[in-house]
Amino acid sequence: MSEELRRSMDGLARRMDDVRAAVLFQAMGPERIHSFAAFDTLVRMHLPFAATDYVQRYILLSGSFYESRQLAEVRPLIPPGAVVVDAGGNIGNHAVFFAMVCRAAEVISFEPLKTIFPILERNVALNGLTNVRCINAALGAGTGGAALSYFQAANLAASGFDLGAGTDYPMTSIDALGLQRLDFLKIDVEGNHLPVLEGARETLARLRPPVWIELRPRLGEFATGDAAMRAQGYRLEKSMSPADHLYLPA
């Protein structure tokens, strides 16, 4: 296949996806609620920005959870009755999976964005989940405040924060939770992995949960993140994608 033909076919596929997304978006109705079956579980998701946001559009088009392959890989590590911290909750995709599919006893989901946090709460409520606690705050090395450093309407989950640089957004730490149990920790914080890990140092040393952490090699995050995890007594178990890495206690 020639390069020109390949580009033409890719362009056609994108246009077909655009048409399909537009049809599905309208089919959700004014409430923008999409229902799908995944992992033998009926899930309802409020997707108000599915026309523009990458993650919401993916859920709408795929009819499944975002990052479903990675979720399937970590599922055996999250037993029924587990306590899970979701650092970077976005619209609740992962929190809903942990609570409904894995049947965690408690999921604590942190999402700092003011436009996204109500969607997280709505998706928790839509699925009747009383085992998810939503916290509208950024995570860092300690308590304080943060400022929005960049906002991406086309991929809301990729928005970033300057920790400790302002008071517009509250900031706390995982250690501040004072958890007595933690069975799994997921960290997806757009480059703020080092302060988040520093703010979880005592919890990780005491409770030793498996950690799923986003470290993007193209942005130089893997080397620093891997060193920080190893310094806290963890080893890389496997990379589930170029950016998603699973660490277990060494």
Evaluate if residue 181 carries a pLDDT over 90.
yes
Average pLDDT score, the chain: 93
Average pLDDT over residues 211-227: 96
Q: Give the mean pLDDT of 214-232.
A: 96
Mean pLDDT of 231-243: 98
CB 122 within 8 Å of CB 159: no
The pLDDT of residue 20:
75
Predicted local confidence at residue 2, as pLDDT: 73
Q: Please give the pLDDT value at position 29.
A: 86
pLDDT of res. 16: 67
Q: Residue 35 burial (CB < 10 Å; 0-12/13-18/19+)?
A: exposed
Task: Note the pLDDT tens digit of each residue in 127-140.
Answer: 999 999 999 999 99
pLDDT of residue 11: 64
Q: What is the pLDDT of residue 66?
A: 97
Candidates 180, 42, 28, 155; CA nearest to 88 is: 155
Expressed in angstroms, the distance from the first to the final Cα of the chain is: 47
**pLDDT confidence bin for 12, thresholds 50/70/90:** low
**pLDDT interval class at 9 (50, 70, 90):** low
pLDDT on residue 244: 98
pLDDT at 8: 64
Q: What is the pTM of this model?
A: 0.91
What angle, rounded to 10 degrees, do the helices at 54-62 and 3-27 form? 90
pLDDT beyond 90 at 166? no
Whole-angstrom Cα distance, residue 197 to residue 201?
Answer: 6
Cβ distance 232 to 201 under 8 Å? Answer: yes
